[in-house]
Structure formats: C-alpha cells, structure tokens
Amino acid sequence: MGVQEFVVYSGGRVSELLNGLRKSSEVRAEVSCIIMELEEHQRVLEKFIQREDDPALVAQADQYQTDLTKTIEAYKNLEKLLGGYQNGKI
C-alpha cells in the first residue's frame, strides 16, 4: 500500500472508529498505531528522497512528505483529544 493509499485508508478507519465509538481508549490506541505507521512511511520517504536523483520525483516526494507531516500532526491532535499521548514509542 502506498503512502497516499494508507493516508486515505487510515482516515477512513478513524472515521469508522469514531462512528462506532466503542471506548475512547480503544480509538486512541488505534490512532496511536496509525501515527506510528505514518511515521514509518515518513522515514522510508526520507530515505527515498536522499538517494533519488530525478528532480521531479524528489519534488513529488517532498509534497508527500508535507502531506504526511500535516496528517501526522492532525492524528496527534486527535490522539490528545481522546485522552492524551499514549503510545510512548513502543
């Protein structure tokens, strides 16, 4: 699954969780996992940018990086609203 696909998937997953709103702690735990997955995508993307020579690909990857950063920040804000920082970098 590519970065964009995962961002769309994770957004849909969070919406699904919020609609079902079991317990906020369960939703928060899922959001924490999504954050960790997005941060891993970001690390992989950074490595790609460092070794890529094609300026067009680097520009596109930089845009994805910007989008990922905004998405991660939004999920961290949601995580805080659901009860604070939990994952402690497992």
Lowest mean pLDDT among 29-33, 53-57, 74-78, 81-85: 81-85
**For residue 88, pLDDT beyond 70:** no
- Residue 16 is predicted with a pLDDT of 73
The H or E element containing residue 64 is helix 55-81
The string of DSSP letters for 23-44 reads -HHHHHHHHHHHHHHHHHHHHH
The string of pLDDT tens digits covering residues 23-62 is 777 778 878 888 898 898 889 889 888 998 999 888 888 8
What percentage of residues in the chain have a pLDDT greater than 90? 7
User: What are the angstrom distances between the C-alpha of 2 and each of 11, 42, 64, 81?
Assistant: 14, 11, 11, 28
What global pTM score does this model have?
0.68
